[in-house]
Amino acid sequence: IKKSAKLIRNEFLDYFKGSLGHTFVRSSPVTPLNDQTIAFVNAGMNQFKGVFLNYHDPPATKVTNSQKCIRISGKHNDLDVVGNDTYHHTFFEMLGNWSFGDYFKKEACLYAWDLLTKHYGLKKDLLYITYFGGNEQLGLEPDLECKDIWLSIGVAKDKVLPFNMKDNFWEMGVNGPCGPCTEIHIDHRRRGSNQSMRVNKGYADLTELWNIVFIQYERLANGTIVPLPKYHVDTGMGLERLVALLQEKTSNYDTDLFQPLFKAIQKYTKAPEYKGEFFNDEYNLDSAYRILADHSRMITVALADGAVLEKNNKLRKIIRKAIDVGERVFKKENILLELSYAVADNLGDVYPELQTNLKKVQKIIEFEKELFKRLRVTSGKEWNKIVEIRPELASVTDWTAPGLLSGYKYLQNTLKNLITTKTLPGNVAFKLYDTYGLSEETINELAEIESLNLDTEAFQNELQNIKYQSKIGLNRKCQMHIKGSIDLLEKSHIPKTDDTLKYEYVFVEN
Ligand code: ATP
Ligand code: MG
Ligand code: MG
Ligand code: MG
């Protein structure tokens, strides 16, 4: 019998808590309270940023945790691949161990290797190691110390591979703490023969499992890189990928982290069962299963942690997309709500806030569903005006019907003859997008159905413009935030007792 995800997660934490003496620190909420530069927490290190920046002391010198992460925007944006691959999710759990000025490279590599090969029993010859190969321009030497550690642990020479800055050098931002990293990758197909050529090339059967970062430098404002007074270790392993390996599955979706959600969808919608097939089309059944299961985890977690949709348009768009997929493919408008129960069931004992805040989450989902529905009625009317359809026909098009476009498509032939406009101007398309919440794809589809020439260039210009505006807004917010933090630090001599910094310590479990 295979280990459950729950057991695998606990074994990781127990391994580091036990004789290795790490303190367990709870996951911070995915909505960062202390960091305006990111919309969502996207790695285990986020809640320890203040430690690396030397703003305050760590909760303990050795720490372990499992952090809720969301990657739908910014530097780490995996949204577009979700549904089409087996190992990226919008929400995932990052298992980590940390040394704040305590142990360094040798122990970090050894702990990871022993855990994977001895405790979890992964086959050694399926594992591949990457390390930092140096950068002449920046005067950074290859991390041969790290390479030698792996060789002394017994990893075969041709499986310890150097990579460049992009893959094996971690930086917190343009300036600040940084350092080389080493990663453990794994061959899922268990081929046996050497697969070094496939490492870091985006193959679904040879994926990254664990990233181990050595924070030993600081990049100064003038761009030069200098050693830090204290060295830290920051590691992150994707739980879903680990569980897939240990449950001997080639796809994360075939594990007990996602299967219960598929079952919930199937039971609720009576759709044919999930078969695990991959096509490049989000409206086929299996992709729809994956997208809904993935997005419902992310949405439930984000809302339970207090994400505010008015401030996070991206999240709102994803909620609408999930509703749309649910309606088109499964012909149900309440799947998201239904799935929030399943998510709380699956993860609620690890992250109790999913249970405590479930009612609130469901209220927001319900509200969003209604809002989306009303928007579609309005946008439908607006659209009808644009294409100058006779008013009596406008009411026939049921924009609230599941599938949004199906009713509309039905009428297309009748409508075609009535259209007088031949171009859909960019600013009108933009209004449909911005004011009425239609997605780019829907607008394109509508234009096609109506044989209208969408002025794509003008439309894209409008889109770019709004993206630029919101970026400026965010930058301004960041600047204000950074200034605020600096003021705060200057005023307070004991940062630990300051209210905004206390936050970091709330999550230490005694
Ligand atoms: P990848 O190259 O596969 O996109 P990454 O290099 O972006 O991963 P890191 O930032 O190094 O990932 O994060 C540490 C670990 O978190 C990864 O080794 C991986 O196991 C896991 N991980 C990263 N992104 C995702 C995701 N979108 N879904 C699930 N697990 C992820
Ligand atoms: Mg990535
Ligand atoms: Mg990577
Ligand atoms: Mg990585």
Residue whose CA is at the smallest distance from ligand 1 atom 5: 208
Euclidean distance between the first and final Cα of the chain, in Å?
A: 33
The confidence score (pLDDT) of residue 211 equals 98
Rg (CA), the chain: 25
Which has more confidence, 188 or 473?
A: 188
Q: Is the pLDDT of residue 410 over 70?
A: no
Cα 138 to ligand 2 centre (Å): 24
Which has more confidence, 480 or 331?
A: 331
- Three-state DSSP at 40 gives coil
Q: Is the pLDDT of residue 495 over 70?
A: no
Contact call for residues 467 and 10 (beta carbons, < 8 A): no
Q: Is the pLDDT of residue 367 over 80?
A: yes
Q: Report, as an integer, the average pLDDT of 170-193.
A: 87
Q: Point out the least confidently predicted range of 20-34, 125-139, 464-478.
A: 464-478
Cα 212 to ligand 4 centre (Å): 8
User: What pLDDT, in 10s, does the model give residues 282-317?
Assistant: 678 999 999 999 999 999 999 999 998 888 889 999
Residue whose CA is at the smallest distance from ligand 1 atom 24: 88
Q: Is the pLDDT of residue 414 over 50?
A: no
Q: Give the DSSP letter string of 337-391.
A: HHHHHHHHHHHTTTSTHHHHTHHHHHHHHHHHHHHHHHHHHHHHHHHHHHTT--H
The confidence score (pLDDT) of residue 74 equals 84
Measured N-to-C along each axis, helices 313-330 and 335-347 cross at an angle, to the nearest 10 degrees, of 110
| 189 Cβ contact partners less than 8 Å away, ≥ 6 residues apart | 205, 206, 250
| 270 Cβ contact partners less than 8 Å away, ≥ 6 residues apart | none
Q: Report, as an integer, the average pLDDT of 120-147.
A: 94
The two structure tokens encoding residue 488: 């705060």
Q: Report, as an integer, the average pLDDT of 438-461.
A: 81
Q: Is the pLDDT of residue 183 over 60?
A: yes
Residue whose CA is at the smallest distance from ligand 1 atom 14: 236
- What does pLDDT average to over the chain? 84
The confidence score (pLDDT) of residue 185 equals 97
Q: Is the pLDDT of residue 274 over 90?
A: yes
Please tell me what DSSP assigns to residue 125: G
Q: Is the pLDDT of residue 250 over 50?
A: yes
State how far the Cα of 456 lies from the Cα of 26, in Å rounded to an integer. Answer: 47
Q: What are phi and psi of 27, to 5 degrees?
A: -60, 140
State how far the Cα of 394 lies from the Cα of 370, in Å rounded to an integer. Answer: 21
The confidence score (pLDDT) of residue 176 equals 87
Nearest by Cα to 155 from 185, 133, 134: 185
pTM of the model: 0.81
Q: Point out the least confidently predicted range of 203-212, 262-271, 463-472.
A: 463-472
Q: Is the pLDDT of residue 402 over 50?
A: no
Q: Report, as an integer, the average pLDDT of 199-213.
A: 94
The band of 174, judged by pLDDT with boundaries at 50, 70 and 90, is confident
Contact call for residues 427 and 454 (beta carbons, < 8 A): no
Cα 374 to ligand 4 centre (Å): 42
Residue 497: Cβ-neighbour burial (10 angstroms; 0-12, 13-18, 19+)? exposed
Does ipTM exceed 0.90? yes
State how far the Cα of 287 lies from the Cα of 403, in Å rounded to an integer. Answer: 16
Q: Point out the least confidently predicted range of 5-14, 70-79, 395-404, 449-458.
A: 395-404
Cα 340 to ligand 4 centre (Å): 30
The two structure tokens encoding residue 12: 């990781």
Position 33, amino acid: L
Q: Is the pLDDT of residue 486 over 70?
A: no
The confidence score (pLDDT) of residue 164 equals 95
Share of the chain above pLDDT 70, in %: 81
The confidence score (pLDDT) of residue 385 equals 63
Q: Point out the least confidently predicted range of 71-80, 251-260, 275-284, 314-323.
A: 275-284
Residue whose CA is at the smallest distance from ligand 1 atom 7: 76
**CB-defined site of ligand 1, < 6 Å:** 43, 71, 76, 78, 88-89, 92, 94, 207-211, 236-238, 240-241
Pocket test for ligand 1, best of 94, 128, 291 (most atoms within 8 A of CB): 94
Q: Is the pLDDT of residue 134 over 50?
A: yes
State how far the Cα of 351 lies from the Cα of 507, in Å rounded to an integer. Answer: 12
Residues 90/94/99/105 CA torsion (nearest 10 deg): -90
User: What pLDDT, in 10s, does the model give residues 381-393?
Assistant: 766 666 554 443 4
Share of the chain above pLDDT 90, in %: 58
Contact call for residues 328 and 402 (beta carbons, < 8 A): yes
Identify the H or E element spanning 443: helix 440-449
State how far the Cα of 211 lies from the Cα of 130, in Å rounded to an integer. Answer: 9
Q: To which residue do tokens 């301004």 refer?
A: 476
